Structure 1
Amino acid sequence: MKKTTINILLTIVIAGVIFSCDSDENKKGRFLLKGNEKMEENDPKGAMGFYKEALKMDSTYADAHYNKALAHLQLNQLTESIQDLSLAIKYKPDYYDAVFQRGLSYLDNGEFYNAREDGKKLIQLDGQNWKSHFFEGLVEEKLKNFPKALEAFGKASELNPKNSDLLVNQATILYYQKNFAAAQQALNEAMDVNPSEPNIHNLRSMIYFDEQNYEKALDAVDKAISLNKSQPYFYNNKGLYLLFLDRQEEGLELINQSIKMDAKNPFALRNKGIYYVMQGDKTSALQYLVELGRDYPDMDLVEEYLKKAQSL
């Protein structure tokens, strides 16, 4: 069941180049620009070649390390990206964008405590930037420090009150804390800012589901899907709600559709296990739920349906 995160656009650094002079400074800048052109053409491998040429001329060129890191990200090379971002920060310690991007990469790589250190750096570099507190919230959420996460998202929202995603992040933490009334209030505020944000409706559907109001949950997730048809979590959630509305085959079809879109979502695998429990298929149910019980023991419904599967 997917919460919202802010879509942070990776920013390629643009070098100022004076073409009338052929200094080394301008040559390395031209390599940077050529690399950027390749990135715009969706050719990160080609871009990396130009960034490497710039670094041959100046191994301390922080912008080239940063842009090279973004090329690695495009190629799903997370470790290499972190290495380049670290070099960019080494040669330019106040490089806010590099610290921010490295922190996000640490989060993606499961290195939450390294991410927390980068979060501290961001606040030191610019405590008035909403992204600093947003990032702090993401880290504390991953570490399950929900009060701190809620406080950080709140600070980010104060600095950027027109950002509906920040309100959805606050609502999500409140949802985790089972404070459904406060979560709904935060979603109402997000609706006032941006009623077309699909995650508002998806999270509202999750609250309705937990309140066992399955029809309202279905209506809300249908609204989310109407606004964004490419999000696998929405289809998985709809599939779950259909299971509980006694429309199991329709639900399974949507859960399978979600898995095709994102095979790594453990919630979809849980929902397949729930489907097989409802069908009385003990063997198939246990294939999903035993592993989930081991790897995600705190996931909602896993323990309950694992017990039901074992008693079939």
Structure 2
Amino acid sequence: MKFHYLHLFLLFALTTVSSCDSPEDKKGRFLLKGNNQIQENDYAGAIRFYDEALRIDENFAEAHHNRGIANYKSANLAAAIQDFTNAIQINPDYTDAIHQRGLAYLDQGEYYKSLEDANRLIKSEQEDSRGYFLRGLANEAVKRHEEALNDFETALGLNPNNPDLLVNRATIYFYLDRFDLAENDLQQALDHAPRESNIFNLQSMIEFERGEYQKALESVEKAIALNSRQPFFYNNRGLYRIKTGEMEKGLEDINFSLKQNPRNLYALRNKGIYYYYAGQKTQALQYLEEVYQKDASIPLTAEYLEKSKNLN
């Protein structure tokens, strides 16, 4: 008799808990489950939980934003941009969503839209560095190097020891041929982030410009040891290997980089340079002319195109 009473009591308690489980509670649980899946790098699983939360409340801005993060990390940029846009439409002051959409636009190659989001972010939070950082990246992408430099300097004024900002300002100094200033920034960044692979990659690019090809190769090897998934590092190593006489290894690196990103004009240029040194005029001209037509400003392209035309 006591057993039946206990059973009925538990059934009543569970029913009561279930009836108190509001839509707000349910969508919140799905959001947390999605967040946990992101922590586990299970982005598809995270998206499924965010979908469930949005079935309960399609105006759940945080679920749109977090699903955007999962899509972004899955390299589904179009879906990520739509998710961030949904979140912003629901909450126009959602600065995290504006920031993330700006980054996604940047990766998508929609640089002027990224600039718009950066300006919107700066207007909303003038004392935060991330809007200036984003605008610097967008200005760098459209080759407004002086404007990018100003943005990174403003961001560093707000966040002085940020190694990512230091590396990006160093990158602009590199483009402006101010190598000593670039190396000063890289040393500061190294003090704060000794395992940041981009520091060593940029150092290798400076050494290459100085004609220190073996040093450049050693530096980019350090970058690859820290981050073996970055195709641009392999492309740079490919060029340095060509210059140090490791032609076939260089071609392997360039082809690997192109497999990850077939549209990388710098890798196509390097393949043309490989064929120049291999004495294969037709192939060298094919790659170098393609790059020159698409972006004549890419360094070494015009030089090696002219050299290739003079091959026998």
Given residue 299 of structure 1, which amino acid in structure 2 is its aligned partner? I
Alignment of 1:144 with 2:149, yes or no, is: no
Residues in 2 aligned to 1:50 and 1:213: alpha-carbon distance in whole angstroms: 52
8 Å contact kept, 1:255–1:271: yes
Displacement, 1:171?
0.7
Structure 1, 151-160 or 281-290: larger mean CA deviation: 151-160
Given residue 199 of structure 1, which amino acid in structure 2 is its aligned partner? N
Residues in 1 aligned to 2:248 and 2:45: alpha-carbon distance in whole angstroms: 47
Where in structure 2 are the equivalents of 1:8-157 lying within 5 Å? 21-40=20-39, 42-157=41-156
Where in structure 2 are the equivalents of 1:241-252 lying within 5 Å? 241-252=240-251
Displacement, 1:249?
3.0
Given residue 144 of structure 2, which amino acid in structure 1 is its aligned partner? N
Matched with 1:159 is: 158
Structure 1, 278-287 or 215-224: larger mean CA deviation: 215-224
Instruction: Specify the SS of the correspondent of 2:167.
Output: helix
- Identity of counterpart residues, as a percentage? 49
Q: Could you list the runs of 5+ residues in structure 1 that have no partner in the other structure?
A: 1-17
Given residue 204 of structure 1, which amino acid in structure 2 is its aligned partner? Q
Given residue 57 of structure 1, which amino acid in structure 2 is its aligned partner? I
Displacement, 1:276?
0.8
Structure 1, 20-29 or 131-140: larger mean CA deviation: 20-29
Change (3 A) 1:303 1:41: same
Residues in 1 aligned to 2:155 and 2:269: alpha-carbon distance in whole angstroms: 33
Displacement, 1:169?
0.6
Deviations 1:40-60 (A, max 9, x none): 455444443433333333222
Change (3 A) 1:157 1:286: same
Instruction: Specify the SS of the correspondent of 1:64.
Output: helix
Residues in 1 aligned to 2:28 and 2:20: alpha-carbon distance in whole angstroms: 12
Given residue 97 of structure 1, which amino acid in structure 2 is its aligned partner? D
Q: TM-score when scaled to structure 1?
A: 0.85
Structure 1, 101-110 or 30-39: larger mean CA deviation: 30-39
Q: Could you list the runs of 5+ residues in structure 2 that have no partner in the other structure?
A: 1-16
Deviations 1:84-123 (A, max 9, x none): 2112111112111111111111112222222111111211
Deviations 1:230-289 (A, max 9, x none): 333223222212222333233223333433454443222211110111121111112211
Residues in 2 aligned to 1:295 and 1:121: alpha-carbon distance in whole angstroms: 31
Matched with 2:254 is: 255
Instruction: Specify the SS of the correspondent of 1:84.
Output: helix
Displacement, 1:296?
2.1
Where in structure 2 are the equivalents of 1:205-244 lying within 5 Å? 205-244=204-243
Matched with 2:168 is: 169
Instruction: Specify the SS of the correspondent of 1:216.
Output: helix
Displacement, 1:162?
2.7
Max Rg structure: 2
Given residue 200 of structure 2, which amino acid in structure 1 is its aligned partner? H
Displacement, 1:20?
8.8
Matched with 1:311 is: 310
Q: TM-score when scaled to structure 2?
A: 0.85
Displacement, 1:141?
0.9
Change (3 A) 1:37 1:305: same
Change (3 A) 1:226 1:46: closer
Displacement, 1:72?
2.8
Q: Answer 1 or 2: which has greater helix percent.
A: 2
Matched with 2:269 is: 270
Matched with 2:193 is: 194
Residues in 2 aligned to 1:98 and 1:132: alpha-carbon distance in whole angstroms: 12
Q: Which has the higher contact order (CA 8 A, sep 6+)?
A: 1
Residues in 2 aligned to 1:227 and 1:53: alpha-carbon distance in whole angstroms: 38
> What is the aligned length?
295
Structure 1 runs of 4+ aligned residues shifted over 6 Å read none
Residues in 1 aligned to 2:128 and 2:19: alpha-carbon distance in whole angstroms: 38
